[in-house]
Amino acid sequence: MEIQERVFELLEEITMVGEVSVYDELTTDLGLDSLGMISLLVALEDTFHIELDESDMDPLALQTVADIVQLIEKYMEEKT
């Protein structure tokens, strides 16, 4: 499964939003608060079998779904 599709599924599960797009903002469009962000980051680590650096968990840097997809793609490239 493609990274973007899996990220969409995780966000739909966590936020209970019907459909997610790469343009959605995590806080305003999807309603993620700080606890929701932590849940998302833990779910991403578990799903993709990665360990995010603290520097990558900056909520100001992760504002859109596209930011999350790019972050995971970076980690997946490093794994190969």
**What's the CATH number where 71 sits?**
1.10.1200.10
Whether the per-residue pLDDT at 1 is higher than 70: the answer is no
> Which whole-number Å values give the CA distances from 37 to 11, 65, 77, 78, 79, in the listed order?
10, 12, 23, 23, 23
Name the region of 31 (left: φ>0; alpha: ψ -120 to 50; beta: rest): left
In the predicted model, what is the mean pLDDT of residues 58-71? 92
Arithmetic mean of pLDDT, 32-47: 94
Query: What domain range is 42 assigned to?
Result: 3-79
Output 79 or 53, whichever has higher pLDDT: 53
The average pLDDT across 51-59 equals 88
pTM confidence score: 0.91
- Number of domains forming the structure of the chain: 1
Q: Which residues pair with 64 in a beta bridge?
A: 25
Identify the three-state secondary structure at position 64: strand
